[in-house]
Each structure stands twice: as structure tokens, then as C-alpha cells.
């Protein structure tokens, strides 16, 4: 600049002071707010990352909460199951003792009475309620009891006892999200936990000429299996076996009818979807519309029972004093029940371990992502204070120079 006008120094000083004051104000606010991003424009990319991280963290926290709830629930369930196993062990001892040929009927009746008491307790456990007042083993029908009992008189019992225990819950699995897109079952249907034998359902209807007439679907254990128009019985069987439900379908060689066998002990729930009638036509469920599990066709042969069935069977044989039956039939049932319940406990334990692993991962991931977020948005205090100090110094310096430069003019020297 060749020539400096009087205004220029003033303008320049204004310009730079204003710019510096803006910076000072900026950095002061950032320090006060503890953030690098006061306006989004301060760092667009960091801001957009931070938005993602923050949502991600809130989600992970929710997953941690979910895991906490499920863990406590499955621990409650496991506690009850352990108790039930204890009872079953006692029943097993009684069965072993009762199978011993040396006891008379009046001895075995006493044993039967003990088993009967234990059965009552077993039913109580199966109807357990959680702290929230919901039924633990009732599937998603959480407000009612999981099992219903029938009472009556049996030979040798002499008083009203439980003659049947029926599952009144559902098989619907509730899922809970425990990490991004990964779910875990969070309820424990009682007809799976308290089951002893593989269930077998054999229809009595010959299925040679069966054909699916229009696209429809069937529900096995509440999983939907889609059938296409024109599927014959083999195709239906293949679809059931490929669907991943713990049920194996095959053709009964005697009657050429559909046979369903569970691959792990549980009660099979069968239903036609909507107004379809595939399973009805196959003679597996009755044509009267009632809900599972009470809809199995009366023509079909069903075998395989619950833990309660086994205990009732043992008790009844003890009441009748038939030691031979105790040893052969009843004891086997008790053993199977025990085995199955123990394996269910193991499964719960395994699920708990998975939850624990996920929880650990989350507890590591949350601080990690918080740190990432903090790296993007939080202020580096040391740097900020250094910058502030630098700005303060330059501000003082320029104010001082301004005071010196602006003051003298020729006027000061003219007399």
C-alpha cells in the first residue's frame, strides 16, 4: 500500500480486533461448553460421526439393559428349574426304592403319598411367578398359570389327587434384541421345559393322493411353513423337515399317513394358518377349530408325555403296588424327565453364558465408542487454553500498539 489514509489504520485495527474477539469468544465458549463443536459447521464430519456414535451408544446401553432384564429372568427360571430337578431327584430315589421287590403295597402307598406331595410342589414350581407377577413358564400368556391340574380319585390313593396336568400357556417365543440385529429368546414355554418324552403324532388318514390345492401355510410350534400349490405329501414332509422346527415329519409305513416326531422332547403345536386346512386334510388335527394343543385329531395316535405325566404314572403304580411296572415303565419316565430337565438347565446356562459374553463385549464397546465420540467432539483443554492465552497476548499487544499508533498526528505538533 503506497498511501495510508487516516481511516485505514482505524479500519484495520477494527477488522483485526473484531476477528480476534470473535476467535476469543469462540474459544471461551468452547472451553465453557467443553465441546469442540459449538455449531455444526465447526467440524461437519465430526458432527455427523458424533450423531451416529451418540445414537449407537444409546442403543448399546439399551442392549445392556435388555441383557440385565433377561439374565435376571433366566436366572429366576433356572432357580425354579433347579428346585424342580431336586424334587425329581427325590422322586427318582423313591422310584428306585419302590422298584425294589421287597415292599408290600401298603409300603408303596406311603411312597406314593410322598410322590403325590412332591407332584403338588412340582406343579407349583411350574406355575411360578416372577417378581413382576408374570408367569415364568407360560410362554407369552404371562398373566395366567402355565399349567392346569385335574383332580380325581385313583386306585389306592384314597383321596382326591392330581390326575392330569395340562399346559395352558403358549409356545410363542419372545425375542429380545441383545446386540445389533441379534436376538435371544427371552421366555421359557413350560411344555418344552417340563416335558419328558419325544412326542409322536401319527395320522390315520392315508395321504397318497394328498395334494396342496392352493398356496397356504401351516404352523408347527408357531413357526410358519409355506406350502405351494401342487405340493404332494413328500413335498410337504420335505418342507417341514427343512424348516428348522424341532419336529421331523415322515410317512408312517403302515398307514401311509403323516407321522410327526419331535427331535427334542416337547409338545408339538399344530395349526393351519388362517382358513387353510392342510393339517386337517392330513388327519393330524381335528376339523373342529380349537386351539392347540387340544386340536389333535381324535383319530390320530399321540404318544409322549410331560414330566407330570411321568410322575403321575409313578405315583399311580406306587399306589397300586405294582413293583414290576415301577421298575420298567415309571422309572424310565422319571429318568427321561430328569435328563431332559438337566439338559434344559444346561441350555439356560449356555444362554446365560452367551448373554454374559455379549454383556462383556458391550461393557467394553460402550466406553470405546464414547471415547471415539469424545475424540470427535470434545475439546482438547490444554490446546484450547494455550490458544486462548495466545489470543489474549496478541489482543493486549495489538491494543497497546493501536493506542500508540493512533494517538499522534501532525496536529499534536502544530502550534
Partner 1 sequence: MQSTFTGLEIGKRSLIAHNKGLTTVGHNITNASTEGYSRQRVKMQPFDPLYAPHLNRENTPGQIGQGVTAVSVERIKDELLEGRIVSQNNLKGYWENRDKYILMTEQIYNEPGEYSVRSMMDKFWESWQDLSLNPSESATRQSVLQRGEALISGIHQRYKSLKEMRDMADSDISATVYQINSILSDISSLNEKIVKIKAMGDNPNDLLDRRDLLVNNLSSLINITVDNRDPDEFQVHTAGLHLIQGRAVNYLSTDIDPVNEGYSRVVWEKSGEQAFFKGGSLASLIDIRDRDLREEIQKLDLMTVNFIDNVNSLHRKGWGKNNTTGLDFFREYPFVTSAEGNYDRAGNGEFDSTYIFRVSGSNSLDPEALIGLRGEMTLPGPDGNINIEYFPTDTVADVIDRINNSQSEVNAVLDDVNRLTIRAVTAKNIDNPDFAIRHIEDSGEFLAGYSGILQASGAEGAFDWETAGAAASFRTGGESANAEYAVAPLSHPSGWIEINRAIKSDPMSIAAGFGENGRPANPGDGSAALAIASLRNKPLMIGKLNSFDEYFSKTVADIALKGEEAEVSLETQNLIMKDLEDMKQSISGVNIDEELAQMIKYQHGYAAAARFISEMNSMLDTIINRMGV
* Contacts with partner 1, residue ranges (CB under 8 A): 1-8, 11-12, 15, 37, 39-41, 43-45, 47-52, 54-56, 58-59, 62, 65-66, 69-70, 132, 134-135, 138-143, 170, 172, 174-177, 180-181, 183, 186-187, 215, 219, 222, 271, 273-274, 291, 377, 409-411, 414
Q: Report the DSSP beta bridge partners of residue 376.
A: none
Q: Other C-beta atoms within 10 Å of 355: how many?
A: 20
Q: Which is nearer to partner 1, 107 or 378 (CB)?
A: 378
Shortest Cβ 266–partner 1 spacing (Å): 17
Shortest Cβ 69–partner 1 spacing (Å): 5
Shortest Cβ 268–partner 1 spacing (Å): 15
Q: Which is nearer to partner 1, 1 or 382 (CB)?
A: 1
Shortest Cβ 187–partner 1 spacing (Å): 7
Q: Which is nearer to partner 1, 5 or 104 (CB)?
A: 5
Q: Which is nearer to partner 1, 138 or 247 (CB)?
A: 138
Shortest Cβ 374–partner 1 spacing (Å): 11
Q: Which is nearer to partner 1, 110 or 403 (CB)?
A: 403
Shortest Cβ 226–partner 1 spacing (Å): 9
Q: Which is nearer to partner 1, 220 or 348 (CB)?
A: 220
Q: Which is nearer to partner 1, 63 or 103 (CB)?
A: 63
Shortest Cβ 70–partner 1 spacing (Å): 8
Amino acid at each position: 500500500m503506497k498511501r495510508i489514509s487516516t481511516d485505514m489504520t482505524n479500519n484495520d485495527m477494527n477488522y483485526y480486533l473484531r476477528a480476534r474477539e470473535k476467535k476469543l469468544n469462540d474459544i471461551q465458549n468452547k472451553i465453557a461448553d467443553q465441546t469442540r463443536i459449538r455449531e455444526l459447521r465447526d467440524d461437519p464430519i465430526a458432527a455427523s460421526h458424533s450423531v451416529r456414535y451418540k445414537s449407537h451408544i444409546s442403543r448399546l446401553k439399551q442392549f445392556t439393559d435388555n441383557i440385565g432384564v433377561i439374565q435376571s429372568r433366566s436366572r429366576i427360571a433356572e432357580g425354579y428349574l433347579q428346585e424342580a430337578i431336586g424334587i425329581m431327584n427325590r422322586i427318582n430315589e423313591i422310584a428306585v426304592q419302590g422298584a425294589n421287590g421287597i415292599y408290600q403295597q401298603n409300603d408303596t402307598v406311603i411312597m406314593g403319598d410322598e410322590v403325590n406331595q412332591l407332584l403338588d410342589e412340582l406343579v407349583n414350581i411350574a406355575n411360578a411367578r416372577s417378581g413382576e407377577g408374570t408367569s415364568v413358564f407360560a410362554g407369552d400368556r404371562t398373566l395366567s398359570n402355565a399349567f392346569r391340574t385335574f383332580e380325581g380319585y385313583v386306585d389306592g390313593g384314597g383321596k382326591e389327587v392330581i390326575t392330569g396336568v395340562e399346559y395352558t400357556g403358549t409356545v410363542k417365543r419372545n425375542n429380545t434384541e441383545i446386540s445389533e440385529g441379534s436376538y435371544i429368546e427371552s421366555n421359557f414355554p413350560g411344555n418344552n421345559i417340563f416335558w419328558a418324552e419325544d412326542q409322536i403324532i401319527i395320522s390315520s388318514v392315508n395321504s397318497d393322493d394328498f395334494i396342496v390345492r392352493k398356496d397356504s401355510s401351516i404352523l408347527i410350534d408357531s413357526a410358519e411353513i409355506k406350502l405351494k400349490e401342487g405340493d404332494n405329501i413328500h413335498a410337504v414332509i420335505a418342507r417341514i423337515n427343512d424348516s428348522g422346527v424341532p419336529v421331523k415329519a415322515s410317512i408312517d409305513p403302515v398307514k401311509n399317513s403323516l407321522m410327526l416326531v419331535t427331535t427334542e422332547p416337547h409338545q408339538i403345536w399344530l395349526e393351519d394358518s388362517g382358513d387353510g386346512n392342510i393339517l386337517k386334510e392330513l388327519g393330524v388335527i381335528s376339523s373342529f377349530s380349537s386351539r392347540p394343543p387340544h386340536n389333535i385329531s381324535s383319530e390320530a395316535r399321540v404318544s409322549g408325555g410331560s414330566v407330570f405325566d411321568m410322575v403321575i404314572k409313578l405315583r399311580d403304580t406306587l399306589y397300586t403296588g405294582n413293583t414290576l411296572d415301577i421298575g420298567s415303565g415309571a422309572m424310565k419316565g422319571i429318568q427321561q424327565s430328569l435328563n431332559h430337565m438337566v439338559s434344559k438347565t444346561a441350555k439356560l446356562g449356555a444362554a446365560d453364558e452367551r448373554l454374559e459374553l455379549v454383556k462383556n463385549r458391550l461393557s467394553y464397546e460402550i466406553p470405546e465408542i464414547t471415547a471415539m465420540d469424545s475424540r470427535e467432539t470434545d475439546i482438547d483443554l490444554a490446546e484450547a487454553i494455550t490458544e486462548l492465552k495466545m489470543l489474549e497476548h496478541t489482543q493486549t499487544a495489538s491494543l497497546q500498539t493501536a493506542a500508540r499508533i493512533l494517538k499522534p498526528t501532525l496536529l499534536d505538533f502544530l502550534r
